[in-house]
Amino acid sequence: MVAEAGSGHPGGSLSSTDIVTALFFHTLNHRPDEPKWPDRDRFILSKGHCAPILYAALARSGYFPVEDLINLRRIDCHLQGHPDMHKTVGVEISSGSLGQGLSVSVGMALAMRLDKLPGHIFTLMGDGESQEGEIWEAAMAAAHYKTDNLTGIVDANGLQIDGFTSDVMNVEPLAAKYEAFGWSTRQIDGHDMEQIIEALDWSKSVDGPAAIIAKTVKGKGVSFMENQAGWHGKAPASEQKELALAELKEQAEALISGQGEA
């Protein structure tokens, strides 16, 4: 998708692929044929530049045809570079301005409580995004109002556009910080499907907001992209695209045959 568009964000989309897959195909209570179903769970992609993985999950879930994905970032397409709730079915909020997703999620959680709706909100953030002060204002508010229908997930791949988060503005220890703000917290391997699913299920049962700190690898699954800040927001050239797809296909086939890691 990103190669065809000639622009986009492959690194953070790949680091969060396992998390988003677990959400859409295991955890979320949603109805693709009834996207505005009031009782649905909500998924908020706070790090909106990673729209490709959201669009892929929406299409594979049945919200719109998979064939639409190749039109990413085209002016006349509903799949823009950052999610647009007015154009793309299944998108809960327009995102991309970093730091806002958790605040919106707290507001949604409180509104759903007032309306006595059973749904749960899952919000995916980046660790670089966690440098935004608004994240921590929202974290404080969520704990104060005991939003037990809210789960915050941090895709902690350790990199942002300018390099390692530890060099740009260190955000660690994230788990201890969320705990200090009054959240129930777990740290997991964000590429271990069993750990992801178990943590997501756990998060729906705690008293108050839950935070999942998922340690991931930027560009996961593509050898030349892994742990490279340069692939934060760069499209692969044609030969690079073919190499990346071949590597991902090989891993997928290994999983299907039961010889690969989940």
pLDDT tens string 199-239: 999 999 999 999 999 999 999 999 999 999 999 999 999 99
The CA-atom distances, in angstroms, between 9 and each of 6, 28, 71, 219, 249 are 10, 24, 15, 10, 20
Question: Measured between alpha carbons, how far is 212 from 196 in angstroms, rounded to an integer?
Answer: 9
Greatest Cα-to-Cα distance within the chain, rounded to the nearest angstrom: 53
pLDDT at 258 (0 to 100): 82
pLDDT computed for residue 260 by the predictor:
64
State residue 261's pLDDT score: 60
- List of residues 6+ apart from 36 with CB closer than 8 A: none
Burial class of 10 by CB neighbour count within 10 A (0 to 12, 13 to 18, 19+):
buried
Task: Read off the pLDDT of residues 131-166 as tens digits, 9 standing for 90 and up.
Answer: 999 999 999 999 999 999 999 999 999 999 999 999
Domains and CATH numbers, the chain: 2-256 (3.40.50.970)
Q: Which residues of the chain have pLDDT under 70?
A: 259-262
Query: In the prediction, which pLDDT does 252 show?
Result: 92
Answering whether pTM is above 0.75, one says: yes
Residue 157 one-letter amino acid = N
